[in-house]
Structure 1
Amino acid sequence: MAKNNKNKKKEAKSSSAFIFWMIGLVAVFILAFIFLGNHSKQQEKTTTTKIDYSNQPYLGKESAPVSIIEFGDYKCPNCKNFTKDVVPIIQQELVDTGKAKFYFMNDSFINVDSTRSAKFAESVFQELGNDTFWKFHDLLYKKQPEDTKYEKMDVFTEAFLTDTLKEVASASDVDKVVKNFQSKKSDNAWQKDMDYAETLGVTGTPTIYVNGKKFEGQTIDDLKDMVEKASKGE
């Protein structure tokens, strides 16, 4: 996998398993993130990082007391599964109930597609706003190739990203985004995410943080408990 020009992450692979079942009306799920071959940081991150959530795409109510972040890569197969299978449950259990906001931040490290698609998505957010960003975000993951042989290949070209946006935005809006992207206006927003990923010590995707603390649990109850504690300042 390609090194990031700032974080210099080494080649990494990740695998994950998601097991879901229903108990009554409550959705309970296992979140098992197993990162095989991830490059470990030389130093553990022990300090608490204050995160600036302004100008970041999110799901939920602005008044929600807790902030959940997913660090993801648009070329990461596990992130695709997470978006399809897990985010809807987080939204139902924590976001729609007003307990938390759910943010997406970039940790683009797999190949050039990762960075290109992340910056393009940032341009979508800057020009067209939060709602269109999430439509594009979800559609881009749906279009991620199933065959892992494409992981290291350039698939998310500018033409591909532009055509994908055309499915959720008007021609004039697409033109605004393309001009933003080509003029590199989204670069700083993308770099802000990458800097947070480095500071927090993110070593693989998807990785979840709750109010700046890494989620280490495996079930929805673990996440709900962490959100509850965060709401109390614990």
Structure 2
Amino acid sequence: MAKNNKKTKKQPQSSSKFVFWMIGIIAVFVLGFIFLGNHTKPEEKQKTEETIDYSNQPFLGDESAPVSIIEFGDYKCPNCKHFAENIVPIIQQELVDTGKAKFYFMNDSFINIDSIRSAKFAESVYQELGNETFWKFHDRLFDKQPEDSAEEKKDVFTESFLIDTLKEVASDKDAAKVVQNFQAKKSDDAWQKDMDYAEKLGVTGTPTMFVNGKMFTGTKIDHLIKMVEEAAKEKKNE
């Protein structure tokens, strides 16, 4: 389960830590995402780089891509919905489809029980049905996230809701496999692995990104592109 000390640091409204807005559509390099707030923590707790085990994690892109980008997210986080719908497609176009990086999603489930339940269910989808179906389900969850902020604290992502959502992208037979996995708690360890990384890396809000283990603190897409290019050079020189 989500750690109590994390919940005291991150109230549901802290998911609004990041607000992304479009600066222009003429060129991708002037498309920015502005962060309200920051990653500031007591200095002794700051994390700048970490070796991460990416095995058995869902990702977009070519597995051989030299750079790994992680988004830590919560399925009940409104800004994660915005990120998934508006920013990830740009990251995919500019960095993933070009072979420069692969993009991972890891869970930092802190808003309520829905956050935990949906994350574990998504892990079960990944374990039983693979990467492609995971991303279809992942996107559907954000599509169906309640638009009313008052719904954020309510129990919306029930097991029946998650099953119905999965059946929009998978057969009844495949959905039954996922349900069996989920009810047997086979996805719990994978979810906890993500939560442990979020704690270890000093994640204080969602979405938060890391590039080859380093926290991204820029404000624009070109800052991210530059960070990826620098990480690729470092990888090449290792």
Classify the TM-score, shorter chain.
over 0.9
Which of 1 and 2 has higher RCO (CA within 8 Å, sep 6+)?
2
Q: Kindly tell me: are residues 188 and 42 of structure 1, through their superposed partners in 2, closer, same or farther at Cα, counting changes over 3 Å?
A: farther
Alignment identity in percent? 67
Offset, 1:158: 0.3
Q: Give structure 1 stretches of 5+ with no counterpart.
A: none
Q: TM-score, normalised by structure 2?
A: 0.91
- Please identify runs of 4+ aligned residues in structure 1 that moved more than 6 A: none
The alpha carbon displacement at 1:5 in A equals 3.2
Instruction: Count residues in correspondence.
Output: 230
Instruction: Give the equivalent residue in structure 1 for 2:177.
Output: 176
Say if 1:229 and 1:105 are closer, same or farther in 2 by CA, change over 3 A.
same
Aligned to 1:22: 25
Secondary structure in structure 1 of the residue aligned to 2:209: strand
Instruction: Using the TM superposition, give the Cα deviation of residue 22 of structure 1 relative to its aligned residue in structure 2, in angstroms.
Output: 2.5
Distance in 2 (alpha carbons) for counterparts of 1:39 and 1:153: 29
Q: Partner residue of 1:162?
A: 163
**Richer in strand (by share):** 1
- The one-letter code sitting in structure 2 at the alignment partner of 1:194 is M
Mapped partners of 1:164, 1:27: distance in 2: 35
Name the structure with the higher helix share: 2
Contact 1:69 1:208 in 2 (8 A): yes
2:63 is aligned to 62
Please tell me the residue identity of whatever aligns with 2:7: K
Q: 1:185 aligned to 2:186? A: yes
**Aligned-pair CA distance for 1:233:** 1.1
Kept in 1, the 8 Å contact 2:72–2:108? The answer is: yes
> What's the offset of the Cα at 1:43?
3.9
Match of 2:141 in 1: 140
Question: CA, structure 1 residues 190+174, in 2 after alignment: closer, same or farther (shift >3 Å)?
Answer: same
Q: How far apart are 1:8 and its partner, in Å? A: 3.5
Aligned match of 1:53: 54
CA displacement at 1:39 relative to structure 2:
9.8
**Structure 2 residue ranges without an equivalent (≥5):** none
TM-score by length of structure 1 reads: 0.92
In structure 2, the residue matched to 1:204 is: 205
Q: CA deviation at 1:7?
A: 5.0
